[in-house]
Amino acid sequence: MNGPVGAPRSRVKVFVLYSLVAAAAASCGVQAHPTEPQSPTEGTAGSAGNGGGATTGSAATSGSAATSGSAGTTGSAGTFGAAGATGTGTGEAGTTGFQGTAGTTGSSGTTGRAGTSGSAGTTGAGGTGQAASGAGVTINGMFVPKEKALTFIHFGHSNMRGQATKPSSLMSYFYTTQSGLWSYKGTFTAAKEPTAPEGSMTFAGPGMAILRSAQAALQPGSNAQIISVGYGKGSITTVDYQKTGVYYPVFMNWAKQLKGNVTFAGIVIMLGITDGEHLPSSQVPDFPKRVAQIVSDIRADLGEPNLPVLFCDYEQMASGTLAPTGSVGMVMQPLVRSLPGMIANLALVPTDGLEMQDDHHFDMQGHKDWAGRVISVMQSKGWWKW
């Protein structure tokens, strides 16, 4: 590749080629810095960088190294070596051979491995509360959102009405008002035993104990209000509490007035023993069907198809013919205990070991303990969410 020595035209061609090479190198981001030529002979092109800077070729014969030594004197014989191709990796391009053969192509730099993807962050646990609906009720001049107005519907025979008069030490538990506890019978009033006869200050049933037990089970910091919609009457049966009967409209008219504006927590029922006592024997076997229909009607009227039902188990501490082994108990207990298998979201609330006032009525301690079991059963079933 050497041209005639001393030919001016060759020097012009060399200069033009050098200018083109330098321009190409500059376009790749590499700046050429030629030194003064020292020898007319060819220099060996610098090898390309392997992921780093390329080494500079040394002069062919007597020329000093191209890096820091001065280049050989300009000779017309040799042409400029072509620049080494730029490495495709992170290394620099090979240096331009000066007055020698073409520089070798720089080898590609090693491509860095892709970083591994970070694992996704875990989703934050959802809160237990519900979004506020905007609905609610006004109690004693205070607006209570629907989500904070927890309402129990409770009804039944004389045990629900309340026959308890002792122990007297618990009278205040049932008849002293408590902030946050209310009875609704067309209007809100501060709750005192809500199913006892109007004006009574001596008979106690489970109503106030249900409200107090529910309030005690609220999550810390909750300001929920607990509401009773209750009714009880002695000696009445499932026939009387059917939708077509006398007493269903009494408590359900109150409940329907609150529909959509409160949160119904559960239905609490005390029935069974009076069906065995007071109905013709031909009607007794249909006790479970009547209970199922009453529950279905309440749920439909309130638009609450899954509303939990807490049904009083047959009174285990009853005595005489009403005892579980008595003539009434032997018929009614199996019927009562068939209910959970017939009605979804119905659980029996145990009655074993409860204090009794007479042959089948709980005393105040019995009502208090039984009401505590109502809430415990709800918690065990996952029905208590507040």
- Supply the pLDDT for residue 196: 82
- Angle at alpha carbon of residue 383, lines to 378 and 384, rounded to 5°: 75
Selection from 134, 131, 132, 137 nearest residue 150 by Cα: 137
- Supply the pLDDT for residue 58: 39
Q: Cβ contacts of residue 62 below 8 Å, gap of 6+? A: 38, 39, 41, 72
pLDDT at 85 over 90: no
- Supply the pLDDT for residue 286: 98
- Supply the pLDDT for residue 131: 60
Between 343 and 111, the higher pLDDT residue: 343
What's the CA gap between 316 and 351, in Å, rounded?
Answer: 6
Between 19 and 216, the higher pLDDT residue: 216
Between 165 and 35, the higher pLDDT residue: 165
Average pLDDT on 340-364 reads 97
Between 46 and 290, the higher pLDDT residue: 290
From the CB of residue 90, how many other CB atoms can be counted at a distance below 10 Å? Answer: 13
Domain residue ranges of the chain, discontinuous segments joined by +: 1-105, 136-381
What's the CA gap between 22 and 19, in Å, rounded?
Answer: 5
Between 121 and 166, the higher pLDDT residue: 166
The answer to whether the CB of 355 falls within 8 A of the CB of 306 is no
Average pLDDT on 304-324 reads 98
- Supply the pLDDT for residue 132: 74
**Binning pLDDT at 50, 70 and 90, where does residue 30 land?**
very low
**Binning pLDDT at 50, 70 and 90, where does residue 40 land?**
very low
Range with the largest mean pLDDT of 11-20, 56-65, 90-99, 369-378: 369-378
Tokens of 276: 């065995």
Q: What is the mean pLDDT of the chain?
A: 77
- C-alpha distance across the termini of the chain, in Å: 94
Domain 136-381 fold is Rossmann fold (3.40.50)
Per-residue pLDDT of 224-244, as tens digits, reads 999 999 999 999 999 999 999
Report the range of poorest mean pLDDT among 114-128, 164-178, 240-254, 366-380: 114-128
Tokens of 334: 């199996």
- Supply the pLDDT for residue 200: 64
- Supply the pLDDT for residue 133: 74
What's the CA gap between 147 and 317, in Å, rounded?
Answer: 38
**136 residue type, one letter:** G
**130 residue type, one letter:** Q
Per-residue pLDDT of 145-160, as tens digits, reads 999 999 999 999 999 9
pLDDT at 211 over 80: yes
- Supply the pLDDT for residue 92: 42
pLDDT at 123 over 70: no
